[in-house]
Amino acid sequence: MKQFLGKRAVASAVSLLGLVVLVFFLSRLTGDPTDLYLPVDASVESREQFRELHGLNDPLVMQFVNYLGDLVRFDFGESIRRNEPAIDAVLRGFSWTLTLAVITMGLVTVCAITFGALAAFNVGGRFDRFATFVSLIGASAPDFWIAIVAIVLFSVNLGWLPTSGTGTVWHWVLPVAVLFIRPFGLILQVVRGSMISALQSAYVKTARAKGVGNRPIIFVHALRNAMLPVITVIGDQAAALLNGAVVVETIFGFPGVGKLMIDSILQRDFTVILAAIMVTAFAIFLMNILIDIAYAILDPRIRY
């Protein structure tokens, strides 16, 4: 297991380095920050001082080498826009995104597994047809469209919920609900299909013959053996949630790392863009390793 985790860590580090290279050079294509932060009639001397202050005077390759040197010392640079360390702004935003993702995925996991298991227990029944219909709609509807419709319906027309912010519990309802729909539909379908196969297996038939009740059969005997493909989808959807929250956070004005990335791109705040990408990528790599460990816990054969 240690050797496997070591290989995964090395592969993740190489991928992260490639991502840094890509984002560093692509972000520079957005333009010169001096055009945003200095007046149009600023003197040449002022522009040179600004570039020198933020390390923009050196050739692009030299800027990248200097950035890597600072990165080795865990120095992510200073934010041009916020006049603070870039990592501080990113971690502050990431804490909001992580909280939003944990709440959403917790609700999604519990609801999708419960609904999927119950639908698989009575294939073709009313509940199964209803769950399948709901999951297909959820998996097909785009997040940005649902978010806009939800704001128009529940905030503008009905006035039940606020459109943006994080001041109260009610501010979280719409972002969580919008992010809930798509992963719920996808995970429910996978749980249903995996549970149908598990419920038709020989050990479940043996348990039925011994007089075991329906609830232990579903949630004890069948569910554990059906969880391996489900864990994969849960991990993929959790990673997609960290990335996909960019659009939802921007629409709802949620102060997460997704909105921070969009604002930083528009503001040409290169250090914050890089720090946000790296923190998000590291979280996704760590999540994938945790999924591999969960695999080994659920199926001892994988450890060998």
Q: Is 185 within a domain?
A: yes
pLDDT value for 21: 86
pLDDT value for 298: 67
- Mean pLDDT across the stretch 37-49? 77
From 44-48, 128-132, 151-155, 265-269, the region with the lowest mean pLDDT: 44-48
Q: Is 75 within a domain?
A: no
Q: Is 115 within a domain?
A: yes
Residue 64 has pLDDT above 70, yes or no: yes
- Domain with 289, as residue range(s), is 86-303
Q: Is 114 within a domain?
A: yes
- Mean pLDDT across the stretch 213-234? 73
From 51-65, 147-161, 258-272, the region with the lowest mean pLDDT: 51-65
3-class DSSP string for the chain:
CHHHHHHHHHHHHHHHHHHHHHHHHHHHHHCCCHHHHCCCCCCHHHHHHHHHHCCCCCCHHHHHHHHHHHHHCCCCCECCCCCCEHHHHHHHHHHHHHHHHHHHHHHHHHHHHHHHHHHHHCCCCHHHHHHHHHHHHHHHCCHHHHHHHHHHHHHHHCCCCCCCCCCCCHHHHHHHHHHHHHHHHHHHHHHHHHHHHHHCCHHHHHHHHCCCCHHHHHHHHHHHHHHHHHHHHHHHHHHHHHHHHHHHHHHHCCCCHHHHHHHHHHHCCHHHHHHHHHHHHHHHHHHHHHHHHHHHHHCHHHHC
Number of domains within the chain: 1
Q: Is 73 within a domain?
A: no
Q: Is 231 within a domain?
A: yes
Closest listed residue to residue 87, CA positions, set 234, 249, 264: 264
Residue 241's domain is classified under what CATH number?
1.10.3720.10
pLDDT value for 221: 65
- Mean pLDDT across the stretch 285-302? 73
- Mean pLDDT across the stretch 152-173? 84
Q: Is 212 left (phi over 0), alpha (psi -120 to 50) or beta?
A: beta
pLDDT value for 31: 76
From 76-90, 184-198, 214-228, 242-256, the region with the lowest mean pLDDT: 214-228
Q: Is 205 within a domain?
A: yes
Mind listing the pLDDT tens digit for each residue in 191-213? 888 888 777 777 667 766 767 66
- Mean pLDDT across the stretch 272-293? 83
End-to-end CA separation in angstroms for the chain: 8
Residue 295 has pLDDT above 80, yes or no: no
Residue 244 has pLDDT above 70, yes or no: no
Q: Is 52 within a domain?
A: no
> Of all residues in the chain, what percent carry a pLDDT higher than 70?
90
Highest mean pLDDT among 33-47, 85-99, 282-296: 85-99
From 76-85, 137-146, 287-296, the region with the lowest mean pLDDT: 287-296
pLDDT value for 219: 66
Which band of pLDDT confidence, cut at 50, 70 and 90, is reported for residue 75?
Answer: confident
